[in-house]
Amino acid sequence: MSVMVVRKKAMRKWEKLPGRNTFCCDGRIMMARQKGIFYLTLFLILGTCALFFAFECRYLAVQLSPAIPVFAIVLFLFAMAMLLRTSFSDPGVIPRALPDEAAFIEMEIEATNGTVPQGQRPPPRIKNFQINNQIVKLKYCYTCKIFRPPRASHCSICDNCVERFDHHCPWVGNCVGKRNYRYFYLFILSLSLLTIYIFTFNIVYVALKSLKIGFLNTLKETPGTYLSPPHGAYLPFRPLCPVVGLTGFHTFLVALNQTTNEDIKGAWTGKNRVQNPYSHGNIVKNCCEVLCGPLPPSVLDRRGILQQEESGAQGDSSTRGPSTQEPGAPEKSSTQEPGAPEKSSTQEPGATQVLGALAVGSTREGSSSPTRQSAVPMLPLSPTGMPEETQPSAVELPAQTRDDGPTEH
């Protein structure tokens, strides 16, 4: 005989999170699934800096100052650190509503909007929220089953609602939101400085070498500057030149305490000319709030533990005494009396009973068998353990030997 044994398997919450994100290092790294352009970003930065350090830096360190490669290394390491911090962090994903919470929200919406006649479009699911004496609309997300907080939006690529959503950046392979916007801004700012720095000293290198061996000979000796001015910059560096303009655009947004999503949609510059309720009216205060304000913790709890139940069969020979049954003889219960009603097979605890008992916490330690309910009513048992119907008594014994005569009424 075997019983069903339930084992609890520990599982991290990131393994069951919805959305289109990928996780690495046991949930510590969170990225979007489309990471091809992110790898291209790494290749462009690493390739360009490798050419600069291999050819120009050695000559400039000797001819001008050894501080030139040192400062370039500092900018390079800082830009790479900000890129990885932006790409590997949670941008501020809002958890989806649980089934009970979603049902409660649906009941609230139905109670507010009332019954909608068939054929008519239901009213939009919007709540009004007041911020700095201005009404801000909270929109309902049909995917996450929640009313999104102010400035939050649903990313169609990652399939998640992100708090203070700015945009989805394929170059960093992640969404840019409340929890990683400052690192994104510092990344593009440091990358712009690194771009200008390498471009400037590339021109200085070509000018110094041209004075000695000529311009054409300089291009032949240094493959890293083959596409240098006046022909252009490094070939791998050309796609990164627009990052300087991108830095200027985000500097403008930070000064206004505005997001890219709000700027594209014209949330505060539309027909109504509604003022931005999140702006402090001061550039310094806006920059301090966006770049130096407190960083909220992640609400996903990606590395939290989820307990999952697994059932399996296991022999119960350890709970029974040695069997005296003959080999090949049919198995019988040791407590069953001759003539007693045959016991139903449902008396043994099944997998459903054990799982249900664990789910509600009704299983008590030390009990020999869980409480069961059978569809067939059980006969009451006497103190001797036999059904009262079949238990012989002193009064009934002589009555069984009499002849059945006519019944008198």
DSSP per-residue string spanning 231-274: S-S-TTTGGGTTHHHHHHHHHHHHHHT--HHHHHHTSSSSTT--
Residue 332 lies in a domain: no
Whether the per-residue pLDDT at 268 is higher than 70: the answer is yes
Q: Which residue is catalytic, options 25, 169, 175, 292?
A: 169
Radius of gyration of the chain (CA): 38
Q: How many domains does the chain have?
A: 1
Query: Is residue 251 domain-resident?
Result: yes
Residue 322 belongs to some domain of the structure = no
On average, the pLDDT of the chain sits at 73
Give residue-wise pLDDT tens across range 14-68.
788 888 888 888 888 898 888 889 999 999 899 889 988 888 888 889 888 889 9
| Residue 401 in domain | no
For residue 240, what pLDDT band results from cuts at 50, 70 and 90? low
| DSSP string covering 22-81 | EEETTTTEEEES--HHHHHHHHHHHHHHHHIIIIIHHHHHHHT-THHHHHHHHHHHHHHH
Find the mean pLDDT for residues 85-108.
88
pLDDT band for position 126 (50/70/90)?
A: confident
The single-letter DSSP state of residue 387 is B
Percentage with pLDDT > 70 across the chain: 64
Domain residues for the domain of 233 are 11-94+161-305
pLDDT for residue 111: 74
267: left (phi over 0), alpha (psi -120 to 50) or beta: alpha
More confident residue, 276 or 274: 276
Within a domain: 268: yes
User: Do the domain assignments include residue 283?
Assistant: yes
Neighbouring C-beta atoms of residue 48, cutoff 10 Å: 22
Residue 384 lies in a domain: no
For residue 379, tell me if it sits in a domain: no
Q: Is the pLDDT of residue 244 over 50?
A: yes
Quickly state the pLDDT bin for 407 (edges 50, 70, 90): very low
Q: Say if residue 230 is preceded by a cis peptide, omega within 30 of 0.
A: yes
Instruction: Encode pLDDT of 190-223 as tens digits.
Output: 999 999 998 888 888 888 888 888 777 777 776 5
Residue 168's pLDDT is 94
**Tell me: the pLDDT tens digits for 284-315?**
999 999 999 888 888 887 777 776 655 555 55
| 70-83 mean pLDDT | 95
Q: Is the pLDDT of residue 187 over 90?
A: yes
Question: Picking from 11-25, 246-260, 370-384, which range would have the lowest pLDDT averaged per residue?
Answer: 370-384
Instruction: Look up the pTM and report it.
Output: 0.69
Whether 169 is a known active-site residue: answer yes
Q: pLDDT by residue (tens digit) across 245-255?
A: 999 999 999 99
* DSSP assignment of 341-406: PPPPGGGS--HHHHHHHHHHT---TT-SS-----SSPPPPBPTTSSBTTT---TTHHHHTTS---P
pLDDT of residue 188: 95
